[in-house]
Structure 1
Amino acid sequence: MMTIRFLQSPTKEEVARIVELYKAQGWWEEGKEGPDLVVRIIQGSHYFAAAEVEGRIVGIGRAISDRASDAYVQDVLVDPDFRKQGIGRLIVQELTEKVHGDGLRWIGVVAEKGSAPFYTPLGFEEMPGATPMLKTRK
């Protein structure tokens, strides 16, 4: 049975598992990022959701927000062995319900190319005239 938990103070084991998930997605730079980054990500998120099967984290997602007007869903990822089972969808649904429950009406997502078919059935729409942009620190 799958459950969703919202993490605030993860254990070392939870952090290690979340790092594994980021690595499996290719979103982790070995040697540049350490486990303490995961702790800061979780604590800095409005909500950090962990999907668990038999006590093992198999998916994550988070909402970041100013806690006043809007939020963004990001870092939604599921262990490759557990994909296509609705876990990612449930993570996004739980996050958006929590954020809407806090009175925030506007929730955005900057989706990776090709992932719109995942987000549109969940109520997200393309923002006409908008261009996602990124500035990274060198």
Structure 2
Amino acid sequence: MPELLVLREPELKDCREILALYHAENWWQGPDNLELVARIIAGSHLFLTVREQGNIIGMGRAISDGVCDAYIQDVTIHGDYRSKGLGRNMVNELCRLLSQQGIEWIGLIAERGSHPFYEKLGFGIMPRALPMLHGKTLQLMGLQ
């Protein structure tokens, strides 16, 4: 049975498995850098992993000021383990842990086509809001 674990001090093996998840989603830009992966984990307010027999098969994280606001991002489950409720459990656990810390404003930007997944978990479209990226980020992503 897969288990959810907060990751605070990743080992080299953890960083490799997390990097593989980033690659699987085409979220990683540039050369592989395990040190950068470790810094992403350390810099996250919460970095939650889903593990099966000790191997990381899913991840999701929250960035936050630690007081009132948080954003969930980088939510993914390895393709072989999807449609088993693991992503739902992970997002719900992230929200529970944030709420337990008194953080009630929880947002995210859903990738195109993934919003029905998040709507089932209680997220909704923010009226009068539009996600935006800085020009340099747009260039890096090939959007400008």
State the Cα deviation string for residues 64-84 of structure 1 (Å, max 9, x = none): 000111100000011111111
Q: TM-score, normalised by structure 2?
A: 0.91
State the Cα deviation string for residues 41-71 of structure 1 (Å, max 9, x = none): 1111110000011111100000100011110
Give SS of 2:102's match. coil
What is the CA–CA distance in structure 2 between the aligned matches of 1:4 and 1:59, rounded to whole Å?
9
The corresponding residue for 1:114 is 113
Q: TM-score, normalised by structure 1?
A: 0.95
The corresponding residue for 1:22 is 22
What is the CA–CA distance in structure 2 between the aligned matches of 1:91 and 1:38, rounded to whole Å?
20
What is the CA–CA distance in structure 2 between the aligned matches of 1:115 and 1:29, rounded to whole Å?
21
Query: How do 1:1-80 residues align onto structure 2 when only pairs under 5 Å count?
Result: 1-31=1-31, 33-80=32-79
What is the CA–CA distance in structure 2 between the aligned matches of 1:24 and 1:115, rounded to whole Å?
16
Gaps of 5+ in 1: none
Question: Shift of residue 29 of structure 1?
Answer: 2.1
What is the CA–CA distance in structure 2 between the aligned matches of 1:86 and 1:46, rounded to whole Å?
23
Instruction: Kindly report structure 1 stretches of 4+ aligned residues shifted beyond 4 Å.
Output: none
The corresponding residue for 2:89 is 90
State the Cα deviation string for residues 66-105 of structure 1 (Å, max 9, x = none): 0111100000011111111111111101100000000011
User: Identity over the aligned pairs, expressed in percent?
Assistant: 45
What is the CA–CA distance in structure 2 between the aligned matches of 1:13 and 1:132, rounded to whole Å?
34
Report the AA paired with residue 101 of structure 2.
D
Q: CA RMSD in A?
A: 1.2
Q: Which moved more, 1:21-30 or 1:4-13?
A: 21-30
Q: How many residues align?
A: 137
State the Cα deviation string for residues 17-47 of structure 1 (Å, max 9, x = none): 000110011111242x511111111111110
